[in-house]
Amino acid sequence: MHLRTSQPKASVARPRHRVAAYSALAWLVLAGMVPPAMAYAEAPVSNAPKLRFLTPDAVQIASVISAAPAPGSAVDQLDNGVLRLQQSNRSVEDCARAAAEVVHSLDNFFGPARGPLTAAEVSRLDPLFSQLVGEIKFFSNQGKGIWHRPRPYDEDRTLVPCVEKESTFAYPSGHATVSKAFAQILSKAFPERAQAFQVAADHVAIDRVISGLHHPSDVLAGQTLGVVIGIALLQNSKFSAALDAVAKAP
């Protein structure tokens, strides 16, 4: 599909073609096609960045998410079928929205342009959440280092992303991991908006599929990992105190 050449505008409207991607993700789970976790060695942590809250071994990646689907496997073929469908149906607005979410940030994922947080809340919470991005991605990057799954466009040249390509491995999705971990934390801090935070995180994850940067199973694994990391952070007394200090601030 050739996208229109006019300058795209960001859109806050829900994408028209999310249903197919969501259905595929649900089908993977319900059909039991995602293989069980395999006994892979954990990625080395000797060069781990300085983590403020969690220890490098706080989350055991290979025990949390399944092994990445093998090239040509049933799951991999289903992934690519969903990606081709999204590529045929995505709009300029879809791609502009996905491009606006490329940088991991509280505002891009949950700010007033497309999420449940107000500008004042983003301003108050962002210093803490900005520190979490690297900490959360430390764990998703471990998974990328274990399984080395290629990006969709590196595996199948007919799949063309509509935002800038990334050179890192695909599995699990860092965006899905970070947005879901953020959603877990925000749901605890503002329980009356818990559903809205979870939906916003789902939108970020599915936009990675719509844009062609990730397979559906990449984002499913990322979301699973994000839930576990979010829970680990909430159970950390140092982080809980830091969150309470900013969440309850006037």
Per-domain boundaries in the chain = 18-39+62-247
CB–CB of 216/173 below 8 Å? no
Rg of the chain taking only CA atoms, in angstroms: 18
**What CATH number belongs to 18-39+62-247?**
1.20.144.10
- Assign 61 to helix, strand or coil: helix
For residue 197, which phi and psi values (nearest 5 degrees)? Answer: -65, -40
pLDDT tens-place string over residues 116-167: 999 999 999 999 999 999 999 999 999 999 999 999 999 999 999 999 999 9
Query: What distance in Å separates the CA atoms of residue 31 and residue 51, rounded to the nearest whole number?
Result: 37
pTM comes to 0.83
pLDDT (0 to 100) of residue 49: 64
Q: How many CB atoms lie within 10 A of CB 74?
A: 13
Q: What is the pLDDT of residues 63-87, one digit of tens each?
A: 999 999 999 999 999 999 999 999 9
- Token pair listed for 78: 């289903």
Q: What is the DSSP letter of 49?
A: -
SS3 readout for 87-145: HHHCCHHHHHHHHHCCCCCHHHHHCCCCCCCCHHHHHHHHHHHHHHHHHHHHHHHHHHH
